[in-house]
Structure 1
C-alpha cells in the first residue's frame, strides 16, 4: 500500500474523448516524488520529440506536489507543465490557490491532457467521475467570469483552473488562472490550453492519501505552525519604513542587508505580503528600472518607490486571504480605483508596472493587474513587453506602421493601461505586435 500518494494519474485525450486513470509504479514516486518531477518523467517518456507546442501531441500536465492537500503548511501549490510555445523547450509554471489540493483530493497525483477537442470543452473531475463537457457558453468569458459561472453551476465546493481571452487567442504570454487571480503564469501554458480548446478544468475532492505515521505527521505540522500563531508585533508595521530610511546610509557604507530575524520576516509577510520589500529592492538595485537600463536610487528613488510598497499597498486591503494551508495568508482582496474589488498586486507585478516602466502610480499598477488577471496574462511578461515598446519609442526603433499609433512615454499611466488592453485584445497594431512577447516582437 502506498503512503503519501495515490499511485495513479489521469490521462485525457481531447481528440478522442478517452479518459484513463493509470497506476504508476512505486519506483516512479521514489525517484521523482511528484509535482515537477512527475511532470518531467511523463513528458520525457511519452511526448514525441519535436512535438508542436500548440499541437495535439503536446502534453499539458497539472501536477500537485507530494504534500499538496496533506494539511502540511504551505502545501497548497501545484505545477503546470508542457512544452512551452514561448521557448520551444520545457515549460513549467507554479501556482498557489486551491485548485491543486482539489485535484489531489479527487484521488489523482496528476492530470495529463493531450489532443485537441473539436469544440470548446471543460473537464469535470469528481473522484472516478471524469467528464468532458461543452463549454461553448464559457468561451469568450474572462477568467473571473468563467470561475464564477462554473461554481454557480456545479457548487461552491469545486475548484476551477481556466483560461481567459488571452489563452483562447493563444497569446504566448497567457497563463492558467484559479481563484480569480492566482495564475500559473510563466512559459505561455495558457496558450497550450487554448490551442487544445480546453476552457477549464474543474475538480472536486477533499480526500487525502494515507500516511505511514499519521500521528507523527500531525505532530510535525503542529510544531511548524506554532511559528505563525502569535499576532504580528506592532513594531512589525514600522520595520519597512524604518528600513527605507536607513537604506541610503547603508548603501553609502557599502553594507548590503540580507535576511533578518525569522519572526520579523514572518510578521512582515503576514502584514504586507510580497509588497513588503518593493521599495527596498528598488533601492538596492535588485528590481528592474527603465527596462533594465536605469539605476534604482538614481532613476526611481525612495520618494517614488514608496508609493508602490508596504503601507501604500495594504491601505487598499478589503479582506486578507491565504492560499490553501498557508499560515502566512499574505494575499488580500483590495479596493480597485473604479470602486470594484480585485487581488492585491504581488511584488513582481508592482515591479513590472512600476519601476520597469517608470510608473509610480499604484492605481495604474492595480488596473493593469486586474486586466491581466481577468484576461489570464502573465503580468511579468506583459510589463516587459510594455517596457520594450516604451524604449523602442524613445529610441525611434518602432516599426514605421506602429510609430505614432499611441503616445508612448515612460511613466505615462494612461498609455500603459491602454497598451495592456490592446495586448489583451491582440488589437491590430501595437497589441498584435506585443501579444506574443518581446522576442516575437523583435523578430517582426
Structure 2
C-alpha cells in the first residue's frame, strides 16, 4: 500500500481569486491587462483580440475581450457569465473568476467568489462607492473571503489625484470593516493605461504600496488541510461485482474538508452508524491517506447501509444533525423567497424537502441596518432565514467549513436555484420568532 503523508500540505503556490464591481468599472479590462502584462496571453489569443478590436473600429486591442467570451458579452460590452482564467507567474499559480458587474447577474458573483481566497473589488474613481460596490463587499464578507483588494480604477480620468483615491479608500474600508472583512488593501490603478496593475505607475509617485500583481503574488494564503473537520459527502456507491472483486463495496466522492486515513473510526450521517475505514482507493490504487479536494473511494470495515447523500465523518468529530436550519442567505432568483415557501435544500450531495419558516431580517446595504421580518426576499437581497427540513441534515457552521456549512435552495417545480445560504452566518442576532404550523403536507 502506498504511503502519502500530509507534510507540506499547508504550503501552496496557488491562489484562487475573483473580481467584482459595478458595471463599466473595468473588471474585464483589468483582467486582460493583468494577463497581457504578465505575459500570460498566447500569441494567437492576442491576435484574435486585435482582429476583433479592429472590427469594432478600435485603434488598439481591447484587452477586455480576453475574458468576455460570450457573443452577447461582446455585443453589449458587459460581462454576463463567470469567466475562469488560469495563469501563472514564477512566484505563484492563479485561478481567476471574472464575475459580472450588472445587478442582474449578482448570482454569478456569488458563484465566482464562493471558492475564492481573495476578491478584487473595482471602483470607478469618478463614481466612488456605489450600491453594487456595497453589495459585493457584503457578499465577500458573507462568504468569508479572507482578503479583499479595493482597486480604484480609472485614476487617469481624475488626473491621478491622491485625494480622490484616499476618500474612496477610507469610505470603502470603513464599510468593509463594519461588515467584518478582516483585511482590505487599497490600490489606485488605471487598467486601460496599465498603471499599478503589473508595473508601478510613474503617474502616481505618491503611492508607495504594491501593484495588483505584486499583492496577488505575495498575499499569504493558508490551506491548512490537515486540521480541518474531515468530511466526505458520498456521491456514488461502487459495486463492480467482478470475479476479481466479488465483494467490493466502495463509497466514492470528493473530500470536502480535512484528511482521512485507513484505520480511522468514522460515522455515517445522518444514520449515525459507526465503523472504521478499511481502505482508500485513489486513481485506481490503494493509499493510506487522502485529503481535501481529492476524489476517492472509501472502503468500510462493516457492511452498513450507505447511499448517495450520506456524509462520512470522523467519529470523534461528527457534526450534530438537525432539521432546523438558521442561516444568512443571498437570494439570486427573480421569484421572491417568501415565508411558507416550499423548496428543496441541497447540502453536499443530499437534497431534501424544506419549508421557509421565517425571514427574521433583511440587510439594508446603505447603512447595514436590519429590516425586521420583511416577509420576503427579492433578487439580490441578503437576509436571515429559518428553514425546517423534512429529514435531518449534518450541518457545519459556515465559519468552520465553507463546503459543508453552505447550501442552496431550489425551486421544486423547475429546478431553478433560488438562494445561496451560509449556515450560522449573521450580521446581527435575529429577533426571536414563533413558528406557525402548516397544514398542506409540508409541515415537518
TM-score interval for Structure 1 and Structure 2 normalised by the shorter chain? under 0.3
Higher strand share: 2
**TM-score normalised to the size of structure 1?**
0.26
Q: TM-score, normalised to structure 2's length?
A: 0.26
Higher helix proportion (structure 1 or 2): 1
